[in-house]
A = this chain, B = another copy of it.
Amino acid sequence: MKFTIKKEILLEALNKVSKAISTKNVIPVLAGIKFNLTKKRLTLTASDNDITIETYIDCNNEEIINIKQEGSIIIQGKYILDIVRKLPDNYINIEVVDELKILIYTENSEFNLNGISEKEYPTIELTESKNYIELSPETLKEIVNQTAFATSLDENKAILNGINFNISGDILECNATDSYRLARKIVKLETAASENQNIVIPSRNIVEFTRIIDDSEEKIAIHIFNNKILFKYQNLSFQSRLINGTYPNTSNLLPKESLVKIHFNINEFYDVVDRVSILTSDKDKNVVTLESNGKQVLMKSSSAEIGRVEEKMNVEKDNDMDIKISFSAKYMMEALKSFSTKTVDLYFVGEIKPILLRSSEDESLTQLVLPIRTY
User: Is A112 positioned at the interface, with any CB of B under 8 Å from its CB?
Assistant: yes
Which residues of A (298-325) have their CB < 8 Å from a CB of B? 305-313
Q: How far is the CB of A103 from chain B (nearest CB, A)?
A: 10
User: Is A87 positioned at the interface, with any CB of B under 8 Å from its CB?
Assistant: yes
Task: State the number of copies, please.
Answer: 2
- Whether A108 lies near B271 (C-beta < 8 A) is no
Interfacial chain B residues near A114, Cβ < 8 Å: 305-307
- Whether B274 lies near A311 (C-beta < 8 A) is no
User: Is A82 positioned at the interface, with any CB of B under 8 Å from its CB?
Assistant: yes
**A112 touches which one: B83, B87, B307, B312 (CB < 8 A)?**
B307
- Whether B87 lies near A275 (C-beta < 8 A) is yes
- Whether B108 lies near A313 (C-beta < 8 A) is yes
- Whether B306 lies near A79 (C-beta < 8 A) is yes
Known: A86-B274, A114-B307, A271-B88. A279 touches B79 (CB 8 A): yes
- Whether A82 lies near B306 (C-beta < 8 A) is no
User: Is A113 positioned at the interface, with any CB of B under 8 Å from its CB?
Assistant: yes
User: Is A278 positioned at the interface, with any CB of B under 8 Å from its CB?
Assistant: yes
**Complex: chain B residue closest to A313, CB-CB:** B108
- Whether A86 lies near B278 (C-beta < 8 A) is yes
- Whether B110 lies near A310 (C-beta < 8 A) is yes
Q: How far is the CB of A91 from chain B (nearest CB, A)?
A: 16
User: Is A249 positioned at the interface, with any CB of B under 8 Å from its CB?
Assistant: no
Q: How far is the CB of A131 from chain B (nearest CB, A)?
A: 45
CA distance A110 to B274 in the complex (A): 14
Q: How far is the CB of A23 from chain B (nearest CB, A)?
A: 16
**Complex: chain B residue closest to A105, CB-CB:** B310
- Whether B279 lies near A108 (C-beta < 8 A) is no
Interfacial chain B residues near A278, Cβ < 8 Å: 79, 82-83, 86, 111
Q: How far is the CB of A25 from chain B (nearest CB, A)?
A: 12
Q: How far is the CB of A323 from chain B (nearest CB, A)?
A: 20
- Whether B306 lies near A110 (C-beta < 8 A) is no
Top 5 A-B residue pairs of the complex, sorted by shortest distance between their CB atoms: A113-B307, A111-B309, A82-B278, A86-B275, A109-B311
Q: List 27 A-B contacts (CB under 8 A).
A: A79-B278, A79-B279, A79-B306, A79-B307, A82-B278, A83-B275, A86-B271, A86-B274, A86-B275, A87-B275, A88-B271, A101-B307, A108-B311, A108-B312, A109-B275, A109-B309, A109-B310, A109-B311, A110-B310, A111-B307, A111-B308, A111-B309, A112-B308, A112-B309, A113-B306, A114-B305, A114-B307
